[in-house]
């Protein structure tokens, strides 16, 4: 089977979004830690670029050996990002495409990551429900 499947585990995700002064850019700093141990499971850093007409570009670097450039559109409280350019280093696990969806649902930001491997269509990989902290 071509799907990329890690064993289930409980985790804590932190996504820090911060406006860059005087620019239509938001910095993105994400960390996932295994609950109970605090072990870093995943991280990514990059930028959301806000363009005219609600267009958005997401540019990320992921230390597991990937870079993502995705494009989408912000409509209301929802941002759908289409799989765009994916860079994969020779030592990284095989990954064909990544898509993301962010949706405001009341006090939560729902962040869904879809991945495709083995020529299959993107399928849900992880869904996180994030709450704002001061």
- The domain at 11-131 falls in which architecture? Beta Barrel (2.40)
Classify the C-alpha dihedral 69-74-77-79 as positive or negative.
Answer: negative
Q: What pLDDT is recorded for position 1? A: 34
The number of beta carbons lying within 10 Å of the beta carbon of residue 26 is 16
pTM: 0.86
Classify the C-alpha dihedral 28-100-124-120 as positive or negative.
Answer: negative
What tens digit of pLDDT does each residue of 76-105 get?
A: 889 999 878 999 999 999 899 999 999 999
């Amino acid at each position: 089977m071509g799907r990329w499947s890690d064993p289930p585990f409980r985790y804590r995700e932190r996504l820090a979004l911060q406006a860059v002064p005087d620019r239509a850019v938001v910095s993105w700093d994400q960390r996932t830690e295994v609950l109970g141990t605090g072990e870093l499971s995943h991280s990514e850093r990059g930028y959301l670029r806000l363009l005219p007409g609600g267009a958005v570009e997401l540019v990320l670097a992921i230390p597991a050996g990937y870079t993502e450039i995705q494009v989408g559109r912000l409509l209301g409280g929802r941002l759908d990002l289409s799989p765009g350019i994916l860079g994969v280093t020779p030592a990284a696990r095989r990954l064909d495409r990544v898509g993301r969806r962010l949706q405001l649902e009341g006090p939560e930001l729902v962040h869904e990551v879809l991945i495709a491997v083995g020529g299959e269509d993107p399928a849900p990989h992880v869904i996180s429900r994030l709450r704002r902290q001061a």
